């Protein structure tokens, strides 16, 4: 499938990842990371075709209500309970260019902080009209939007009294497999953000703030739903001005 | 002062958490009716060209315990060595092969399974052929930033011996961590996150 923006296909390698900006593997405050983090150094690999290519998903995979979590699991005529919100924003690359055709998948707990998952045992009840998953694809300008209810905070077994801030998980596909990213969106003004061991895996406060969606009053729909704006930045591509040893290809 | 470069910073990663299946494989998580099928569950159809193979394995933590809540994605070329991607400029890949698959490890056994085809060879940056390989991406609770590795094939000894990426591994004792063991059309690839048998992971 061709790039929906009609730009030439992108073939450059990606900007190297700033691993001092991302959380490191070993973050003992988040206990599970201790046995699940590599101890040896990563082997650096400048992008080959295997890394700079990636699947691109067409809008044809989407159902009509895939980006409406208030209704996509609800019984006919009913809707999920909770604070109705719209989350919207743009997917950009590090060169501040829009990423059209990016697949976004998101998942979250319900208004009471309960996930619909068999391994979840939190005593807050399930909402029979809320599944908690959705997806969408960015348009030609890199824009996306979803409708949902604001998730509740929930306790988790890490420290004896650790609670996650309200958050929505985002999985993002750009145009190259090396851009693959999973992150979490937090909500402006939530005091829980700064107490969370998972948030604290990120070393730099400015990096944490990049994950905090702002209340977007201008886009709030009166008598319906408030809006939050959450932009996502994927790795940029190097210009292919002077590729190494092109004569060998 | 100098001119500002004006680049943005990549959004920082966070763990996928224990309930990643709700979002990425909801039908596996028991959430039915939202999507007809889970993305990446099927890579091939009846018309796909190439040799059918299955790949199974586990992801093990630093104590050797399998992760029952990990999620893997694979990305690979078709049988002719072409990627089904807009960034593939060398030709058109097999339209009956997605090249991309997604699988959660089993909640009881920790096993994952992909049904795919053996990929063809793809050129390295300088044009030398790489050995047949599959790119693998792993996320899970406790993994703060997705881990990248590669799967190579035990029955490609000659190609593996001249592969530029395998050749860049200084500690040769670690090369076998990237080689899936073949038995007919079935390959076994265990991923060790940590410890003596630690798999080689890449900063790609």
Considering only CB atoms, B142 lies closest to which of A33, A54, A236, namely A33
Rounded Cα gap, residues A106 and B17, in angstroms: 12
State the average pLDDT over residues A78-100. Answer: 97
Asked if B83 and A49 come within 8 Å (Cβ–Cβ), the reply is: yes
Chain A residues with CB-CB distance to B147 below 8 A: 38
Q: Closest Cα of chain B to A51: distance in Å?
A: 7
Q: What are phi and psi of B180, to 5 degrees?
A: -80, 135
- How many CB atoms within 10 Å of residue A44? 10
pLDDT digits (tens, 9 = 90+) for A52-76: 999 999 999 999 999 999 999 999 9
pLDDT digits (tens, 9 = 90+) for A132-166: 999 999 999 999 999 999 999 999 999 999 999 99
pLDDT class of A245 with cuts at 50, 70, 90: low
DSSP alpha helix (H) spans, B48-189: 157-161, 164-167
ipTM exceeds 0.90, yes or no: yes
pLDDT digits (tens, 9 = 90+) for B41-76: 999 999 999 999 999 999 999 999 999 999 999 999
pLDDT of residue A140: 96
Torsion over CA: B146, B148, B153, B154 (sign): negative
Q: Please state the length of chain B.
A: 204
**Burial classification of residue B117, based on how many CB atoms lie within 10 Å of its CB (0-12 exposed, 13-18 middle, 19 or more buried):** buried
Contact A166, A187 (CB under 8 A): yes
Asked if A131 and B34 come within 8 Å (Cβ–Cβ), the reply is: yes
pLDDT digits (tens, 9 = 90+) for B105-147: 999 999 999 999 999 999 999 999 999 999 999 999 999 999 9
Torsion over CA: B106, B110, B116, B122 (sign): positive
Share of chain B above pLDDT 90, in %: 100
Tokens 């960034």 sit on residue: B87
State the average pLDDT over residues A125-138. Answer: 98
* Residue A240 in this model has a pLDDT that exceeds 80: no
Considering only CB atoms, B8 lies closest to which of A10, A92, A106, namely A92
Active site residues per annotation of A: 115, 154, 164, 167, 169
Asked if B144 and A32 come within 8 Å (Cβ–Cβ), the reply is: no
Across chain A, mean pLDDT equals 93
Contact B204, B177 (CB under 8 A): no
* Residue A248 in this model has a pLDDT that exceeds 50: no
pLDDT class of A5 with cuts at 50, 70, 90: very low
* Residue A51 in this model has a pLDDT that exceeds 80: yes
State the average pLDDT over residues A21-32. Answer: 98
End-to-end CA distance of chain B: 32
Residue A6 — left, alpha, or beta (φ > 0 → left; ψ -120 to 50 → alpha)? Answer: left
Asked if A94 and B6 come within 8 Å (Cβ–Cβ), the reply is: no
DSSP alpha helix (H) spans, chain A: 49-52, 205-209
């Amino acid at each position: 499938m061709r790039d929906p923006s009609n730009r030439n296909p992108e073939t450059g390698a990606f900007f190297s990842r700033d691993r001092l900006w991302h959380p490191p593997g070993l973050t003992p405050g988040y206990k599970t990371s201790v046995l699940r983090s590599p101890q040896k150094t990563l082997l650096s690999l400048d992008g080959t075709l295997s890394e700079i290519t990636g699947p691109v998903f067409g809008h044809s995979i989407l159902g009509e209500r895939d980006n409406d979590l208030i209704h996509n699991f609800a019984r006919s005529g009913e809707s999920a309970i909770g604070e109705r919100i719209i989350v919207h924003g743009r997917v950009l690359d590090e060169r501040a260019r829009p990423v059209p055709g990016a697949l976004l998948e998101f998942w979250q707990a319900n208004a009471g902080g309960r996930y619909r998952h068999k391994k979840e045992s939190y005593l807050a009840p399930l909402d029979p009209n809320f599944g908690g998953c959705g997806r969408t694809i960015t348009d030609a300008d890199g824009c996306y939007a979803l409708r949902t209810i604001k998730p509740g905070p929930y306790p988790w077994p890490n420290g004896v009294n650790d609670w996650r801030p309200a958050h929505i998980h985002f999985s993002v596909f750009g145009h190259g497999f090396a851009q693959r990213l999973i992150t979490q969106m937090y909500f402006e003004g939530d005091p829980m953000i700064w107490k969370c061991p998972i948030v604290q895996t990120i070393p730099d406060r400015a990096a944490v703030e990049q994950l905090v969606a702002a209340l977007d009053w201008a886009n709030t729909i009166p008598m319906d739903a408030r809006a939050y704006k959450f932009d996502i930045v994927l790795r940029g591509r190097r210009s292919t001005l002077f590729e190494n040893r092109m004569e060998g290809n | 002062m100098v001119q500002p470069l004006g680049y943005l910073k990549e959004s920082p990663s966070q763990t996928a958490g224990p309930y990643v299946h709700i979002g990425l494989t909801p039908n596996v998580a028991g959430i039915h009716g939202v999507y007809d099928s889970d993305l990446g569950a099927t890579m091939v159809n009846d018309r796909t060209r190439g040799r059918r193979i299955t790949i199974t394995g586990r992801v093990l933590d630093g104590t050797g315990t399998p992760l029952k809540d990990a999620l893997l994605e694979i990305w690979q070329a078709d049988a002719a060595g072409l990627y089904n991607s807009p960034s593939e400029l060398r030709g058109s890949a097999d339209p009956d092969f997605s090249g991309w698959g997604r699988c959660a490890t089993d909640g009881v056994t920790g096993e994952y399974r992909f049904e795919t085809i053996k990929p063809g060879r793809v050129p390295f940056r300088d044009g030398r052929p790489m050995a047949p390989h599959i790119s693998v991406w792993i996320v899970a609770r406790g993994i703060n930033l997705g881990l990248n590795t590669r799967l190579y094939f035990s029955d490609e000894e000659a190609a593996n011996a001249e592969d530029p990426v395998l050749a860049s591994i200084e500690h040769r004792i670690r090369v076998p961590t990237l080689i899936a063991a073949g038995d007919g059309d079935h390959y076994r690839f265990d991923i060790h996150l940590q410890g003596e048998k630690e798999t080689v992971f890449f900063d790609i």
